Amino acid sequence: MNNLVILMGGAQSGGNPITQIVPLVLIVVVFYFFMIRPQMKKQKDQKKYIEALKIGDKILTIGGIYGTIHKMNEDGTMVMAVEDGTKMKISKNAVSNDATATLNQTT
DSSP state of 90: E
Q: Please report the beta strands in the chain, taking only residues with DSSP state E, as ranges in sequence order.
A: 58-60, 66-72, 77-81, 87-91
The residue that leads in pLDDT, 69 or 107, is 69
- Evaluate whether residue 48 is within a structural domain: yes
- More confident site: 18 or 4: 18
- Domain hosting residue 47, numbered range: 15-52
On whether residue 80 sits in a domain, the answer given is yes
Does residue 3 lie within any of the structural domains?
no
pLDDT at 71 exceeding the cut of 60: yes
Structural domain count, the chain? 2
Residue 73 phi, psi dihedral angles, 5° rounding: -105, 155
66 and 39 in a common domain: no
Q: Is the pLDDT of residue 13 over 60?
A: no
**Average per-residue pLDDT for the chain:** 83
Say if CB 106 and CB 65 are below 8 A apart: no
User: What band does 5 get if pLDDT is binned at 50, 70 and 90?
Assistant: very low
